[in-house]
Amino acid sequence: MNGVGYAPDGEIRHLDKRVDKNSNLALTELFHAGLLCNDTILKHGDKGWGIEGDPTEGALLVAACKADMDIKTVQACYPRLDTIPFESQHQYMATLHVGKSYLIYLKGSVESLLERCQSIMTADGQYKPLDSVKVHKQVEVMAQKGQRVLAFAYQPVPQDTCSIDHSDVARGMIFLGLQGMIDPPREEAIRAVQACHIAGIQVKMITGDHAITAAAIAGQIGLDETLKKNEIPKVLTGRELETMTDAELIQAATSISVFARVTPEQKLRLVEALQAHGEVTAMTGDGVNDAPALRRADIGIAMGITGSEVSKDAADMVLTNDNFATIEAAVEEGRGVFANLIKFLTWILPTNAGQGLVIIVAVMLSQPLPVLPVQALWINMTTAVLLGLALAFEPREPGIMNCPPREPDTSLLNGELIFRIVLVGLLLLIGSFGLFEWALMRGADVDEARTIAVNVFAVGQSFYLLNCRSLRYSMFHLGVFSNPWIWAGIASMTVAQLLFTYQPLMNQLFHTAPIGIIDWISIITVGLVIYFIINAEKTIRLHYEKRVG
């Protein structure tokens, strides 16, 4: 069958010849089954052909159209009387229709249908015994190509049958055939899986599809990072999971990447097994039966397009485009946001510590305060807004997805940050307190000396801000102007400090006084010393980590 997407353009071909469904009654009934045992709507809109409902059922409608069937006409000729909805534990869906006779159409997994069928319809409409081994061999051929295979059957029932239940399809069904469909993995999904592996994120496939189909698709996207691309990974089926103890399940959940023919209850058990191993789990799902696993996972992710309302309500977040690559992009964005938060803390805590140390040392030495409370308030207010806020706009660092995941119980205030707080705090203490005392020794009045001390904090924090753009690399590695907000903030801070120093009203409000060019050179020198010392510390730490790693 040729054609792509949901556009009903194409035809059925065999050995390069067009197949006439009218010459094959079994083929006609096969497409009838796919069209009628179906809850999806195929429609044409401004953006082309699309569906409302399940993509697999949408593919069955398109296949029927390519067999020259008109959906509305067939549905009108065979109105539906009753339905047995699809349930994971049964793995099939059945519908009752009335036309020239009363018929049940059944679609579902190959295993569930074969155990209900004893005969198969031939091309001329006759019945013969069903060869299950032959069917399984054909399923394996299709599944190895990555096709999702569904089986179809039907059964005439007595007239005036108004409803059906599971007992009506338990036996005596007539096998019609198989339909296989494939949704080739998107290139962005393959790249996203690779990016997740590099980032230390395990990606697992938990599906209701046939084991061979799941393995083929997993091989195409390189799901198992221990294998080369297109190598077939090991697959565990739901039947194998049923026999496992909790300890065995934990071992399997952590070591195996592909699980097929899995029930909703087993999805929940797999999530719990991974959590018992200490893993942080993110679970995707779209069906009603996926809700327990979505709720239990640390991060439940429902599908926005194909997902049911129940799954969306149970999930923590909804993926509006149903694209796995979006999850990887969200992880990358989240890492960037978290990194910027750490950068802000790395910047604000040491600078506040420096202010506190200056006041503590002055009190202990019975010296005049280098920074008055109102001046400290000015520094905190202006630097937090004009300087610290700019770090929120810092672009993600290259290689941010090359780092392993952070342990959830890791403290934000680690040894590295504590060392940085002490180091920068001492540098600001020495710079501000030293220049304050030096100004007094030169005969400056206390207001001038305090103005110098306050400007040491403003300039020192501005130079230190350039260090905090990355906890490992210099700003030249990142790109000097890759974050223009940094420079806009420093420029605004410069203007604010000039007004703070020279504007008469500000002098009156904040007890400041104009200072000379020599004082500014000393202040900027302190800022440069802070920048180069912290940059040297980062370089030493980076080299040490590379050598240890």
Residue 130 has, within 13 A of its CA and on its CB side, a CA count of 20
Give CA torsion, residues 248, 254, 256, 260, to 10 deg.
Answer: 80
Residue with tokens 């296949």: 63
Topology at the third CATH level for domain 13-179? Calcium-transporting ATPase, cytoplasmic domain N (3.40.1110)
Q: Determine the Cα–Cα distance for residues 235 and 218; give it in Å rounded to an integer.
A: 10
Is the pLDDT at 4 greater than 80? The verdict is: no
Spell out a b/e string for 501-518, using b for 16 or more CB atoms within 10 Å of the CB, else e.
beeeebbeebebbebeee
Give the pLDDT score at 98: 94
SS3 state of residue 284: strand
| CA 494/CA 428 separation, integer angstroms | 18
CA distance 339 to 392: 9
The continuous run of DSSP H or E covering 148 comes out as: strand 148-157
- The boundaries of every CATH 1.20.1110.10 domain in the chain are 329-548
The average confidence (pLDDT) of the chain is: 90
Identify the CATH homologous superfamily for domain 329-548: Calcium-transporting ATPase, transmembrane domain (1.20.1110.10)
Query: What residue spans in the chain does CATH classification 3.40.1110.10 cover?
Result: 13-179
Least confident range from 240-249, 349-358, 408-417: namely: 408-417
The pLDDT of 396-424, averaged and rounded, is 85
The per-residue pLDDT for 114 is 95
The rounded distance, in Å, linking the Cα atoms of 526 and 34 is 77
Average pLDDT of 134-157?
92
- Using the 8-state DSSP alphabet, how is residue 14 labeled? E
Residue 76 pLDDT: 94
User: What number is the average pLDDT over the span 192-197?
Assistant: 91
Tell me yes or no: is domain 187-327 CATH 3.40.50.1000: yes
Provide mean pLDDT across the span 307-323: 90
- Read off the pLDDT band of 20 (50, 70, 90): low
Q: Please give the single-letter amino acid code of residue 88.
A: S
Query: Mean of the pLDDT values across residues 233-250?
Result: 92
pLDDT band, residue 407 (cuts 50/70/90): confident
Separation of alpha carbons 383 and 390, rounded Å = 10
Q: What percent of the chain has pLDDT over 70?
A: 97
- The C-alpha atoms of residue 21 and residue 24 are separated, in whole angstroms, by 5
pLDDT digits (tens, 9 = 90+) for 58-108: 999 999 998 889 999 999 999 999 999 998 788 899 999 998 899 999 999
**Is 17's pLDDT higher than 70?**
no
What confidence score (pLDDT) does residue 271 get?
Answer: 95
Predicted local distance difference test score (pLDDT) of residue 513: 95
Which residues on neighbouring strands pair with residue 93, listed in sequence order?
Answer: 107
For residue 228, which of 240, 238, 220 has the smallest C-alpha distance?
220
Q: Which of 217-221, 471-475, 501-505 has the lowest mean pLDDT?
A: 471-475
pLDDT number for residue 145: 86
**What is the 8-class DSSP label of residue 227?**
S
Instruction: Give the pLDDT mean for 16-32.
Output: 80
Q: Is the pLDDT of residue 132 over 60?
A: yes
- Secondary structure class of 381 (helix, strand, coil): helix
Distance CA 270, CA 386 (A): 48
* Mean pLDDT value across residues 479-500: 94
Phi-psi region of 234 (alpha: psi -120 to 50; beta: other; left: phi over 0): beta
Question: pTM to 2 decimals?
Answer: 0.76
* Residue whose token pair is 């934990």: 250
pLDDT of residue 87: 85
Report the pLDDT value the prediction gives residue 548, as an integer from 0 to 100: 66
3-class DSSP state of 161: coil
The CATH 3.40.50.1000 portion of the chain extends over: 187-327
pLDDT for position 270: 94
